[in-house]
A and B are shown apart, each in its own frame.
Chain A
Amino acid sequence: MNLDRGRVRAVFRKELREYRRRRTIVIGMAIFPLIFLIQPLIATFSLASSASGQLAQRHELLYLLAIPALVPTTLAAYSVVGERQQGTLEPVLSTPVRREEFLLGKALAVLVPTIVIAYGVFGVFVACVELFAQPGVAPALLRGSDVLAQLIFTPLLAGWSVWLGLAISTRASEIRVAQQLGILTNLPSILVTTLLALDTIHPTLAIAIGGAVLLLVLNGVGWRVTSAMFDRERLIIGSR
């Protein structure tokens, strides 16, 4: 199958233009990360210099991995069912666009802003810790392995979350149902990142590599499975 980059770009650009015109989307995307930024910052600022030793057993940074898991959920869940309810899906599906191209354009349009926001929030967190945390806390908290995990897992978790949301969106008949299901299906990802941050699951190199490979595979499978679930006839006629 040959993907046409022009068609993927057309879907991607259209989506970004729509985000720009909808303030509620931008606000919705910004609120979740801010909530997830506040708790780790408060916890970090309350640490005394002497507590830096305890930080060796904690992975506060990994809390922030909930951001790429949560931010794209509602947007991805809206993507297809939203167009269907607006009545804009039929003209788009009447063009030569393949379902894989359509879904990839949609996925990238959610993924790119999510990664920018997640990295941005991470940057703000690092800057705040470096500038305002007690002496000794920053070097103990911002360990190379945790920073690397943040950088690698952000796009992988976001991608998985996007494909889950899109898969739900191709089958749902109502926007609200799709969004609620989207959030529900992302809870396991958030649970795992939280357990890692609390050291309930002790993060090791093997877990990190295994998790990254698994997410990489799930992203590829997610695209294929969502494409297979995307049925033009069902989406146009509206049968369940």
Chain B
Amino acid sequence: MYFLIRWLIRRLKRRAAAPAPGAVPPPDQPMVRAPGDRLVSPDRTAAPSAGREGAALSVRNLGKRFGDRIAFQDVSFEIGYGEVFGFLGPNGAGKTTTVRTLGTLIRPSSGSATIAGIPLTPENGVEIRRRISVMPEAPGLYQRLSVAENLECFAGLYEVPGGQDRIGRVLRAVGLADRAGDACGSLSKGLRQRVALARALLPDPQVLFLDEPTSGLDPVAAHDVHELIGELRRSGVTIFLTTHRLEEAERLCDRVAILNTTLRTVGRPDELRDRLFAKTLTVTTVAPLPEPGRVFGGLPGVDGWRQDGASGYVLAVSDPAVAAPAATKALVAAGADVLSIGESRHSLEDVYLELISEDAEARRR
């Protein structure tokens, strides 16, 4: 009885000292973080890779089979600290299974990986999960609990120090400080997605896995998430971003990988463009050139040309900076009325479609 009374007194004292359950700092702060309202620990903000050796994520010949079905195989890449790495691929390519494998939720069938400096083994599961955070595609929130209660539960699971303060910060970061008391079941899909993002930010992870973070968000909310990812990158958080939005990947990612069961390519978006597509200049004239071969043949930096429509020409070039002025001069000398001349830009989408259609073609054969 004595111990019971002592325990009750201790609990009452603690409760009196602590903020009320579900309470977050008052929503008088702006929706976006105030200066100094840090989402990552101060020592990490000094420099993205300060004090950390090697890669944030190193994957060697990783693969996963479910019986006869191959989810993904022979996947190898390295990601540096503070890098935003885009992971692209069609549905069923194995992206989510890769994330789950790296998140220690499922065991790899082959290969090895090191996550935040720790080898991926069953014994290291807890230690790895302490250093990473995963935002799955489906928010997976407790619908009957409030936003703050959901985050409180996860703050406990992640052993987040200063739980309430941290919850207030991540809620402000995703613009939900004024919705902390709302039941998650009453929120729109976009807002639930933001809560899931706030939950992923709670533990101040070294590596953050984001699976379709802007899925279901309106353009403004998606823009806010992009801003947030940019800020996390500047703070030194390594981000593994799985997305179907190619323009998002192109805008946010330092490098991208395209997966279609096997890894098709890894590199910077511009590097991939150069690797896959020849550099070209597109020339459009008012009227068709009488002798285009004489105009474009033998120009410095121009390797070849072809007609594209009645008065359009595509020049294969080795160096656009040399070829463009030479082509302009040649067109003027030939008396052509030039409508436009410019370097053709291939998007990441072109790269993606080219690689995926190659795979589909190979499968048909």
Contacts and interface: CB of A to CB of B under 8 A. Distances in A.
Contacts of A55: none
Contact of B100 (A9, A11, A236): A236
A120 B133 CA distance: 43
Contact of B157 (A88, A97, A233): A97
Contacts of B339: none
Interface in B133-153: 133-134, 136, 138, 140-145, 149, 152-153
Interface string A218-238: 000000000000001100110
Interface size class of A (residues with CB under 8 A): 20 to 34
Interface string B48-76: 00000000000000000010000000000
A82 to B, nearest CB: 11
Interface in A1-30: 4, 6-7, 9-11, 13-14, 17-18, 21-22
B345 to A, nearest CB: 39
B129 interface: yes
B159 interface: yes
Contacts of B153: 10-11, 13-14
A94 B159 contact: no
- Chain A contact surface mostly: helix
B157 A10 contact: yes
Given A13-B156, A86-B143, A91-B141, 10 more contacts: A10-B153, A14-B145, A18-B145, A21-B183, A90-B136, A91-B140, A94-B133, A98-B126, A233-B107, A237-B106
Contacts of B196: 91
Interface string B267-286: 00000000000000000000
B305 interface: no
Q: Which has the most chain B C-beta neighbours within 10 Å: A9, A90, A96?
A: A96
Contact of A22 (B100, B133, B136, B144): B144
B199 interface: yes
B103 A94 contact: yes
Interface in B100-123: 100, 103-107
B154 A95 contact: yes
A87 interface: yes
Interface string A74-103: 000000000000111111111111100000
Nearest to B196: A91
Interface residues of B, number: 34
Interface in A193-240: 232-233, 236-237, 239
B158 interface: yes
A14 B142 CA distance: 9
A92 B133 CA distance: 11
Contacts of A236: 100, 105-106
Q: Which has the most chain A C-beta neighbours within 10 Å: B66, B127, B130, B153?
A: B153
A85 to B, nearest CB: 11
B140 A88 contact: yes
Q: Which 8 A-B pairs have the closest CB atoms?
A: A10-B156, A21-B144, A95-B157, A94-B134, A14-B153, A233-B106, A91-B140, A96-B129
Contacts of B104: 232
A232 B105 contact: yes
19 contacts: A18-B145, A86-B143, A87-B138, A87-B140, A89-B140, A90-B138, A90-B140, A91-B134, A91-B136, A92-B157, A94-B103, A94-B129, A94-B136, A95-B129, A95-B154, A96-B129, A96-B130, A96-B159, A236-B105
